[in-house]
Chains A and B, each alone.
Chain A
């Protein structure tokens, strides 16, 4: 079992739909990151959080430390949101990040 599991692996939705991507992890962490990767490789950090909830524009990230679970929500989804969304965790005392396998999101117009 991977240390970081994401669901779903693939998600296709219509423009305007509310999107939820889930991340579960099995190790103690100091922080959890949500990342976005577009075709061609570049990865952009969306959120880094260790508790509670963060919001940036149409993106919302939540984390439940007790349940070792995080969710990324996208409101009013748009085709430009189409990308791979990756959850990564930084372990306690560890410098490296451990990544989930990613969720491929496609938003159709």
Chain B
């Protein structure tokens, strides 16, 4: 257990439904990241928060995706109108500063059927 919690760990949803994932980072970590990983590939960057500010978003993050970190603590990643191509593991990570070790959660597996 790295201290970064993600919920739910697994989600199966029908195409077109909305899903939301939650990440609770290590408490003193001000930087929070979302990544997406498909089978056999390394993670790909989605978005990054410093405290409550979303400072960077990947072009992978279409307008169906939205992420928030309202109080600079936990974060949510919502996918609207899910598509089969959204099936992947969504990883959250946090760190205290840019020069420090990064800690990953266990990931949230999404299967869109």
Decide: A42 and B107 in contact? CB cutoff 8 A.
yes
B93-110 CB mask vs A (1 if < 8 Å, else 0) is 100001111111111010
Binding site for B on A (CB under 8 A): 4, 30-31, 33, 35, 40-45, 48, 86, 88, 90, 95-102
Does B18 sit within 8 A of A, measured CB to CB? no
Does B2 sit within 8 A of A, measured CB to CB? yes
Decide: A43 and B44 in contact? CB cutoff 8 A.
no
Binding site for A on B (CB under 8 A): 2, 31, 33, 35, 37, 40-45, 48, 50, 55-56, 58, 89, 91, 93, 98-107, 109
Which residues of B have CB within 8 Å of A98? 45
Which residues of A have CB within 8 Å of B55? 95
- What are 24 pairs between A and B in contact, CB < 8 Å? A30-B98, A33-B102, A40-B106, A41-B89, A41-B91, A41-B109, A42-B104, A43-B93, A43-B104, A43-B107, A86-B42, A90-B98, A95-B33, A95-B50, A95-B56, A96-B56, A97-B43, A98-B45, A99-B35, A99-B43, A100-B42, A101-B42, A102-B40, A102-B41
Tell me what chain A mostly uses at the interface: helix, strand, loop, or mixed. Answer: strand
A-B pairs with beta carbons under 8 A, tally: 66
Decide: B99 and A31 in contact? CB cutoff 8 A.
yes
Look across to chain B and name the residue whose beta carbon is closest to the beta carbon of A104.
B40
Which residues of A have CB within 8 Å of B48? 95-96
B61: min CB distance to chain A, Å: 12
Decide: A88 and B42 in contact? CB cutoff 8 A.
yes
Decide: B104 and A44 in contact? CB cutoff 8 A.
yes
